[in-house]
Homo-oligomer: A and B are copies of this chain.
């Protein structure tokens, strides 16, 4: 992955970040989820927006960033967010950060920190601490069973000629 640093246009960053914050604030009274918003921008144009919809849609993965990424990819017809910037009202949680890495935008800009979120009752520091642990040390019991055919899907993938890498 490129480690290129992009020029920072603070005026544009503030403009799009404020839109993510506005969406986050507006989302509270809709009762569809928490106070989080995100905006995906490409070439200074908004491609998609997202708000947290966890409780309203019974979807624990419907965080603002995930919602915005899924919508942006649909609009762009790609599973990659090349040259896009993700603006988030709050620092991404590990799930969203993982989703962002898979989507590969060029930049992430966020406003509130995880610490600010924790003060409002949203504490993802627990998940940040769990992810680097070995499976025997994690709080959700995790077991690895090597069934005799555990590698069959990968063997099938390796020999399949029409695969689309991602």
- Within 73-103 of A, Cβ neighbours of B (below 8 Å) are at 73-74, 76-81, 89-91, 93-103
- Within 128-143 of A, Cβ neighbours of B (below 8 Å) are at 128, 130-132, 135, 139-143
A154 & B112 in contact (Cβ 8 Å cutoff): yes
- Chain B residues whose CB sits within 8 angstroms of the CB of A126 once the complex forms: 1, 101
- Chain B residues whose CB sits within 8 angstroms of the CB of A74 once the complex forms: 58-59
- Chain B residues whose CB sits within 8 angstroms of the CB of A116 once the complex forms: 150-151, 154
**Chain A interface category by residue count:** 35 or more
For the residues of A in contact with B, the DSSP-based class is mixed
A131-B98 contact given A59-B79, A109-B145, A111-B144, CB 8 Å threshold? yes
User: 4 nearest interchain CB pairs?
Assistant: A95-B98, A35-B153, A24-B153, A120-B154
Q: A residues within 8 Å of B by Cβ?
A: 1-6, 8, 10, 13-14, 17-18, 21, 24-25, 27-29, 31, 33-37, 54-55, 58-61, 66, 69-70, 73-74, 76-81, 89-91, 93-113, 116-117, 119-121, 126-128, 130-132, 135, 139-147, 149-154, 156-158, 160, 162-166
Q: Can you list 15 A-B pairs, Cβ within 8 angstroms, ordered by A?
A: A1-B126, A13-B143, A58-B74, A59-B79, A60-B79, A90-B153, A94-B98, A101-B127, A105-B140, A106-B141, A107-B140, A108-B143, A112-B153, A121-B165, A132-B132
